[in-house]
Amino acid sequence: MYKRILNIIVFCCLLTSVSAQVARYEVTHEGRKVNTPGSESGPVRVGDTLYYSSLQEVSESGGYIDFGITIMRVFKSHVSENNKLSSGEPLTTGINHPSRHSGNVAFDQRNDIIYFTRCRMDNNESYQNEIYYMKLKNGKWEKPQRMGGEVNKRGYNSTHPTVAYLPDGATILYFASDRPGGLGGMDIWYVTVNEREVGLPTNLGAPVNSEHDEITPFYDLDDGILYFSSNRPGGVGKHDIYSSRGGRNSWREPEHMPKPVNSVEDDLYFTVNDHSASLGKERTGYLTSNRSDSYFIHDTSCCHDIYRWDFSLVDTTPIAQAPKKVEKPVEDTCPCKQARRLLPIKLFFHNDEPNPRCTDTTTTLTYFQTYNSYMFKRQDYRNRQNEIEDTTERSMALATLESFFGEVQYNSEKFEHFIHLLAQDILDGRHVVLTVGGYASPLHSSEYNVNLSKRRIATIVNQLKEYNGGMLKRIMGQPGSGSLEIKRAPQGSSTAPKEVSASAKDQLHSVYSVDAARERRIEILEYEYQ
């Protein structure tokens, strides 16, 4: 097998002066078992199988009506224990289509769903990519379905899906699209998906997206890192691979991946193997590139091939004698200490949510379900602030609004971290008591607002029950596991300042002002052991 290995050694100094580590990337061309003179793309490994797309000529002997057409199909290859690949074979599950390109598979293994892209020709002979999915039912794959909601927008491309998960059990799908509302060219967007609905697509915004193209996203579930390719300035090739840590639409500044991951050509479809999550210092995965040793038909840079990357982090310092272990009190080692540092956590809601115009004291919704719909309303809030006639007042109101929604997002991220700490405490056998307050703006009656506060508190109870696919609900009560008690403190609008508007006729101030929005919340106030 024709192979070329590129190496990089980066010396990293740790915080202590006596330790050093060597970080090494190796990039290996995967040869003719999977690569052809045409283009291969989208490699992703699940278990011992590598799934990828290949652009090849398909003849009638392959079971297709059209003779001699070149079409993109999804293939699979078996991966041996020493990372050797078997010859690729086209999937027979129904993903591949006789006259449309199919590729870019992404697996939702929690819900037995495959997402993928299909590319069709419309009447004016231009290509349009759309995202489809297939469900596994009773051991068989159902027919492919075009994604609903607004994931696919007529006249624009939606492609390159990748899957992540939210604490409420919903799936979050990141994808690339050139639809209106982005920062320029192809941008990365996300949409939430659950059994009932598909949410509205949301642009990740800066710093992930730019006025240039951002494509081929892949979300590493284990490390919470989004990998993507971009042709933004500052790279070494035509498209370079970047990484950014975060989730939803909150991301750190992207980092440029080093050589040899990036080359002077196109480097795309960076993926991390699912089997390597627990290997610590050793990670493996795949990428696609048209670098110089790729196979080609005519032009040496025409066609992309699949490469495997290997990462290792080797400690080069002598092993020092371990210091004598000093037992710390439980208070210093338990997750509760970290959890208490996060308090109070304030989780906000849109007016009269959840379940508006009712007197119920409970709900089936989780907090993150209400959060997602709330964040979709940001533009509605901006539009109402733009109604303010005074220019200075309007500018201040818009700036305050943006700051507030940043606070909403920040607290939601704290809550996600908080849930992980709480789960660890319960797994360790501790009995945790949370005190949660519920609040409302004064737009409705006092009695109504108390019930509304109870519904809001119920969303956090539901959220905890749904954590990690219902893990907390399953483990509580098992031998060796702990338990959770939630003390509810529904305050309604009794604590709202008098200056907050209660006028139904003046919704600019009673609904869409930041003063009113701050009152519509729940707060995690205390974290104690029983």
Where does a domain end: 251, 286, 315? 315
Domain co-membership, 288 together with 417: no
The reply to whether 409 falls in a domain is yes
**What is the token pair recorded at 129?**
């990519």
The reply to whether 266 falls in a domain is yes
Q: Which domain holds residue 273?
A: 5-315
Residue 507 pLDDT > 50:
yes
Domain co-membership, 269 together with 355: no
The reply to whether 325 falls in a domain is no
The reply to whether 320 falls in a domain is no
The reply to whether 323 falls in a domain is no
Domain co-membership, 35 together with 170: yes
* d(C-alpha 349, C-alpha 517), whole Å: 8
For residue 210, what is the domain's CATH number?
Answer: 2.120.10
Where does a domain end: 248, 281, 315? 315
Average pLDDT over residues 155-159: 94
What's the pLDDT score for residue 250? 76
Domain co-membership, 167 together with 126: yes
Domain co-membership, 160 together with 183: yes
Q: What is the pLDDT of residues 235-249, one digit of tens each?
A: 898 999 999 988 777
Domain co-membership, 340 together with 245: no
The reply to whether 90 falls in a domain is yes
Is residue 36 classed exposed, middle or buried when 0-12, 13-18 and 19+ CB atoms within 10 A define those classes?
Answer: middle
Domain co-membership, 304 together with 344: no
What's the pLDDT score for residue 134? 95
Where does a domain end: 291, 315, 339? 315
Domain co-membership, 384 together with 459: yes
8 Å CB contact between 52 and 74: yes
* d(C-alpha 233, C-alpha 231), whole Å: 7
Residue 11 pLDDT > 50:
no
Average pLDDT over residues 203-228: 92
Residue 192's contacts (CB-CB under 8 Å, 6 or more residues apart) are: 166, 170, 171, 172, 173, 198, 199, 372
Q: What is the pLDDT of residues 159-189, one digit of tens each?
A: 999 999 876 677 899 999 999 988 989 999 9
The reply to whether 322 falls in a domain is no
**How many CA atoms, within 13 angstroms, populate the side-chain half-sphere of residue 208?**
34
The reply to whether 422 falls in a domain is yes
Question: Rounded to two decimals, what is the model's pTM?
Answer: 0.61
Domain co-membership, 290 together with 379: no
Domain co-membership, 191 together with 275: yes
Domain total for the chain?
A: 2
Domain co-membership, 310 together with 379: no
The residue to which tokens 């031998």 are assigned: 479
The residue to which tokens 């493996």 are assigned: 284
